[in-house]
Amino acid sequence: MTVLGDDVGAVRVLTMNRPDARNALNSELIEALYVALCEADADPSVRAVVLTGVDPAFCAGVDLKQAQREGPAYFERYQTHNCITRVGEMATPIVGAINGPVFTGGLEMALGCDFLIASERAVFADTHARVGILPGGGMTARLPQLVGAAMARRLSMTGEVIDAARALQIGLVTEVVAHEGLLDRAVELAGQIAEVPAPIMAGLKQIYVSGAAAVTDPALAAEQAISGALSDTSDLGARYAEISERNRRQIRR
């Protein structure tokens, strides 16, 4: 199974399960995660969700090898099963537990969570531009709200990798914990959310979403329009190999 689900009281833990591919979003994972998110959102017994990945990574983003093989056909799956944007559309509160590397589309997915906590092993990067793909899942709309416009541009334009301590410093995550305690801490926080009466929590989330919409909605529309016109998928395989090696070198530092 590419997505594991486990209920801890009123908290549903969804875990991406392609560890050999660092939980990159192939067609099976795209569809399974989208369905799992929709089911959790529709289940009244689920009061909060924790999203994480099987070690060693949270999510490497788009499966660039499959995208390179299939071209536009790969990206068409996101028209009906967009697991990246679905996270940000959840009515149910969702906590991101970042257990390891999270890159590009994986980072866009994480940004859709209400807030993030990170393992000390987590590292973050937006490498869209370096592999010839523009963000289309909310990166340019949501990242500036967390880290500020200048830092968001720096991360997206350079593709640099930052560690968990730096992510906490710039406001990308709200807490960094020992790796072994990450899931317990995420479930603990989600459990606190689940204790609040459902109508109150639903209203609170709606207030936050509505308040941000004036900024995010136009930014999302612009991002999707420009991304669709300019993204280049013709040589993803070579760029994937180059960026993967560069990221590995930065992580080892």
CA distance 249 to 212: 36
CATH topology of domain 3-180: 2-enoyl-CoA Hydratase; Chain A, domain 1 (3.90.226)
Tens-digit pLDDT profile for residues 158-215: 999 999 999 999 999 999 999 999 999 999 999 999 999 999 999 999 999 988 776 7
Tens-digit pLDDT profile for residues 217-251: 776 677 777 776 565 555 555 555 555 555 555 54
Distance between start and end Cα atoms, the chain: 34
Burial 92-113 (b: 16+ CB within 10 A, else e): bbbbbbbbbbbbbbbbbbbbbb
Domain residue spans of the chain: 3-180
Cβ burial of 82 (10 Å; 0-12, 13-18, 19+) is middle
Output the pTM of the full model.
0.89
Tens-digit pLDDT profile for residues 47-78: 999 999 999 999 999 998 898 888 889 889 99
CA distance 178 to 238: 35
Nearest to 227 by CA among 159, 140, 148: 140
Stretch 97-101: mean pLDDT:
98
Burial 165-204 (b: 16+ CB within 10 A, else e): eebbebebbbebbebeebbebbbebbbebbeeeeeebeee
- Mean of the per-residue pLDDT values of the chain: 90
What string of H, E and C letters represents the secondary structure of 49-111?
Answer: EEEEECCCCCECCECHHHHHHHCHHHHHHHHCCCHHHHHHCCCCCEEEEECCEEECHHHHHHH
